[in-house]
Amino acid sequence: MFTLARQTILPTWEWFSKECFLACIQLNGVQSCGFQQNICKSKDNEQTEYMLKKWWRGSYKKHPGKFTLPAVKLPRRFQASAQLFLRNKDKKLLFASAKTLSNFLLSRRTCNQAVNRDQFYTDVLTPKKQDKTRFFDMVNLSSSDVKVAKQFVPEADKIDNSSYNWKEVVYDSVNSSAYLVGRAPGCYAAVLRALSEIKVRDPNFRPNSLLDFGSGCGTSVWAANTIWRSHIKLYYCVDPSEDMNQMAFFLFAGGNYDTYLPGLFIRKSMPALSSGKYDIVVSAYSMCEIPSQKKRLSYLDALWERTEKYLILIETGNFHGFTLIDEMRNYALNKWTSERACYDSDEHGSPKESLQVFAPCPHQTKCPMSETAMSCSFEQIYEVPKFIQSLQKGNERNFVKEKFSYVVLQKKMKNHKNTLHWPRLIKQPHKQGKSIHCSGCMKNGELKQFCISEKLHGKCLYEVANHCTSGDCLPLPDHNFPGASL
């Protein structure tokens, strides 16, 4: 197998079993915590504590719930190949194109199926109202009908805007080079962050193959090679753009198109089902390029059929990207948990495998943010590579935060148990006095705000919370903090 990178930046702590974890936790009375030092008390008016002892190797900065990586850096061979690829490009024009393309992709709405405004009115109105008039002709409507009309007209405008303003990006040679400069480091950082969590939580997982849907310049392959370089023997990249595929091969081969890379396949279409399944399937910033919801879900079905263990979906960290991730997450849970009987069954008729949400959710229910104005997004810092710094004017930042939304779907076998139900922090914790205020997604599917203090919860939990960032977990699997719901 060809070698892409030799570096690894994964944490070095050991994993553990649930029994080992529970043996290290001491419960003293009734758990309590809350905002503004609103401490619950037992019947004997004694303050209660939830003490956590340090049971892992390493410092508090490397606690087992720490999934956010330090500043990510593109592999040296990738940077060298990219520098070689861009050597004859117009730097000024390339940097301007990269900035324009990046801003467009990060702010673009999700494309829904085109919905005709008249059809929308027809679906909303009752037959009796349809006989009277259309919504925007309110002369013959009663006062109650006018109130209903004013309520739905803005909704129709939203549908039109999200449908008709969507534009497809044609990745020719210019746009492919712009994508390499504007989006490659951020894509690499997001994929590496998702894959590293799988590596930490499932240390016995040794993938042999990877399918990259919408591979672009191959950042998912480079990220997987950084983590499992000695294990993955087959990489299958799918991208409809010929220019993008040629650029990706140039980066893999180090600038020599005549190089033979065994185990690497770059194609324009998906592999046949008869060719087998892939241990890891990645779709990073690709579903937003599909022009309709129906096609997106059909591609999701195809990716799941080709998944052996993990399916990773990543989109931009804005509201539209999160909506897209939530759409696919709900579709997967509703379909592949209700149709478990369709899977291969054992001799007793029980399904051998089913779906579960591996990350970032600590629960298997509907996302509590789907009905709010918030979005479940996380950040990963990456260092701007030298081939991009050479294009900048000198006043740009050398470290940038990549904001993304993601979900990892796992095919779990029969009798497999996922023991990780730790509260996932959805916002950056902040200190206030001697307490740390946190906002987390809990194992029961609720969003809660709670605070942690050294006096009530012990030094260990306090230090762990102090070194957490958005996207990390608090190592408390069997506990839900009482606090204010978001």
What is the spatial distance between Cα 141 and Cα 149, in angstroms, rounded to a whole number? 9
What is the spatial distance between Cα 161 and Cα 176, in angstroms, rounded to a whole number? 27
Whether 20 has a pLDDT exceeding 80, the answer reads no
Tokens (6 digits) for 168: 């497809």
Tokens (6 digits) for 390: 């050479």
382 exposed, middle or buried (CB, 10 Å; 0-12, 13-18, 19+)?
Answer: buried
What mean pLDDT is predicted for residues 99-110?
Answer: 88
Domain boundaries, the chain: 18-55+429-485, 76-105+170-317+377-413, 117-164
pLDDT score at 360: 93
Whether 210 has a pLDDT exceeding 90, the answer reads yes
Calculated CA dihedral for residues 371, 373, 378, 382, nearest 10 degrees: 150
What is the spatial distance between Cα 156 and Cα 121, in angstroms, rounded to a whole number? 8
Q: Which of 429, 438, 419, 282 is nearest to 362 (CA)?
A: 419
What mean pLDDT is predicted for residues 336-356?
Answer: 56
pLDDT score at 419: 53
Whether 278 has a pLDDT exceeding 60, the answer reads yes
Whether 283 has a pLDDT exceeding 50, the answer reads yes
**Band of the pLDDT at 434, cuts 50, 70, 90?**
confident
Tokens (6 digits) for 322: 């999160």
Higher model confidence: residue 109 or residue 263?
263
Bridge partners of 210? 235, 280
Percentage of the chain lying above the pLDDT 90 cut: 44
Q: Are 211 and 236 in contact (CB under 8 A)?
A: yes
Tokens (6 digits) for 346: 């054992």
The continuous run of DSSP H or E covering 222 comes out as helix 219-227
Q: What is the pLDDT of residues 418-433, one digit of tens each?
A: 557 888 999 999 988 8
Tokens (6 digits) for 142: 């009663």
Instruction: Calculate the average pLDDT of the chain.
Output: 77
**Band of the pLDDT at 256, cuts 50, 70, 90?**
confident
**Band of the pLDDT at 158, cuts 50, 70, 90?**
very low
When the candidates are 3.10.20.90, 3.40.50.150, 3.40.50.720, 3.40.50.300, the CATH number that belongs to 76-105+170-317+377-413 is 3.40.50.150
What is the spatial distance between Cα 66 and Cα 47, in angstroms, rounded to a whole number? 29
Whether 117 has a pLDDT exceeding 50, the answer reads no
Tokens (6 digits) for 89: 């490009």
pLDDT score at 392: 79
What mean pLDDT is predicted for residues 180-197?
Answer: 95
What mean pLDDT is predicted for residues 331-341?
Answer: 72
How far is CA 64 from each of CA 164, 268, 474, rounded to the nearest angstrom?
A: 46, 40, 9
- Of 200-204, 219-223, 411-415, 474-478, least confident by mean pLDDT is 411-415
Whether 350 has a pLDDT exceeding 80, the answer reads no
What is the spatial distance between Cα 294 and Cα 277, in angstroms, rounded to a whole number? 23
How far is CA 87 from each of CA 237, 282, 390, rounded to the nearest angstrom?
A: 25, 30, 11
Whether 174 has a pLDDT exceeding 70, the answer reads yes
pLDDT score at 385: 92
Which are the contacts of 347, defined by CB distance < 8 A and separation ≥ 6? none
Higher model confidence: residue 36 or residue 154?
154
What mean pLDDT is predicted for residues 145-166?
Answer: 48
**Band of the pLDDT at 157, cuts 50, 70, 90?**
very low
- Of 115-119, 358-362, 372-376, least confident by mean pLDDT is 115-119
* Tokens 């991730």 belong to residue: 325
Question: Quick one: how many helices (H) and strands (E) in the chain?
Answer: 14, 15
Tokens (6 digits) for 170: 């044609």
**Other Cβ atoms closer than 10 A to 114:** 14
In single-letter form, the type of residue at position 426 comes to I
Whether 247 has a pLDDT exceeding 60, the answer reads yes
Q: What is the pLDDT of residues 23-41, one digit of tens each?
A: 333 323 223 332 222 223 3
